[in-house]
Structure 1
Amino acid sequence: MSSCGQQRTGSGPGSSATPSALGPARGNVEPGSDGGAPHYQENNGFKVPREMTPAGEEAARKEAARIEPVLKRLWKDNVWDPDSVRAALLRLGYRSGDGLQPGTLVVSSMGERHILTQIDPVTPEGALFALRVRKDACVRGAVRPSGSQSEVSGPFLETGCFEPRGGH
């Protein structure tokens, strides 16, 4: 206890509390930050997709419905390498491109991941894809050994239709 009957917290001598156990100071948690630090939404705004118009969402859902059977077939056939996924999705009539123009498709590997138990990064099996349906609408997803998935959303500010991986 400190003077005036206030309880002391901190990580200095004689304190058993740790900063991680304390969390942000009362009143510094933003609504919608899930208990996170101050400025959570500001610092993570790049992870929030732009809004879709109702017409954009309808168009994206229509394309997702065309894509999902292809993804399920690829997964069932144990095919999830990026070249095969790209070829299968291009057969639906999309164009390979930068993903910035409507109708363009980007397919990539899962990307390197750092695993705490390994010195060198690893690249998991599978493929990520992103289809720009309209200026305001995307379909993105993956095919990998554990399954396939797709989802619709607006584009991300910095990464187009691909969900951002980390901060900047």
Structure 2
Amino acid sequence: MTLSTHRRRRHFAAVLLLGAVIALTACGQQRVAADAPGASSNPSPSSPSPSHLGASPYVEPGANDGAPHHGENNAGRQPREMSSAGEEDAQREAKRIEPVLKRLWKQGKWDPKSVRSELLALGYRDLRTGPKGEHLGGNLEVRGMESRFETDHYVTPEGARIGLHVRKDACVTAFVQKTNYQVQVNGPYLETGCFAPPFAH
């Protein structure tokens, strides 16, 4: 046997061995056609993750669920930023409101009428608007709780929501209900003022 024949046989054996190794390591892996959208040169595991398939061109960076246009669709649900002076004023008013809501909660009074009456006693005034939504005076809004879907129907829990317009860029938002109460400060929402807009159902 010549030296060149011996080298060819060794080369052939190496190729066979390499083919066997590739076949064994590929077991259980999902194949993606080379021309399929999102195909990569690396084989994907049996339950592919988005990183293997490539990012969608429609996914907005920073979107919680990867939904297209998440930020744009939820822009109305983001409060505007408060100035430092606005936040300071709102925090001061929140400190006035919190003990009143705590007392009402302990007394079991969380209906909008009782809550409004107690807050008006602090010197706030009911917010008044004109037919086109123009501000006519006042700064306090007290509403019932929003309805929510449970199992197969909507329910409206007992309680009151509060929106206090402190400045053009600052609000105190709060609620009191049977289970708890909460007071916080935030900037106003683009279309709904101090109250967060309802979720679409």
Q: TM above 0.5, one fold?
A: yes
Q: Distance in 2 between matches of 1:78 and 1:101?
A: 33
Q: Is the 8 A contact 1:132 1:161 kept in 2?
A: yes
How many equivalent pairs are there? 158
Superposed structure 1 runs of 4+ greater than 6 Å apart? none
Question: Of residues 102, 117, 121 in structure 2, which corresponds to 1:91?
Answer: 121
Higher relative contact order (CA 8 A, sep 6+): 1
Q: Deviations over 1:104-140 (max 9, x none)?
A: 1010110222222x44x22101100100001110001
1:167 deviates by 4.3
Match of 1:114 among 149, 152, 157: 149
Relative to its length, the structure with more helix (as a share) is 2
Question: How has the CA–CA distance of structure 1 residues 98 and 167 changed in structure 2, closer, same or farther, with 3 Å as cutoff?
Answer: farther
- SS of 2:185's equivalent in the other structure is strand
- 1:13-162 matches, within 5 Å, as 26-27=55-56, 28-98=58-128, 104-116=139-151, 118-119=152-153, 121-162=154-195
Structure 1 CA distance, aligned partners of 2:139 and 2:171? 10
Note the residue ranges of structure 1 that are not aligned, 5 or more in a row: 10-15
Specify the alignment match of 1:13 in structure 2.
none
RMSD: 3.0
Kindly name which structure, 1 or 2, has the bigger radius of gyration based on alpha carbons. Answer: 2
Asked if the contact 2:127/2:137 (under 8 Å) is kept, the reply is no
Identity of aligned residues (%): 50
- Please, which runs of 5 or more residues in structure 2 have no aligned partner? 1-30, 40-45, 130-134
Mark the CA change 1:53 to 1:102 in structure 2 (over 3 Å): closer, same or farther: farther
TM-score by length of 1: 0.81
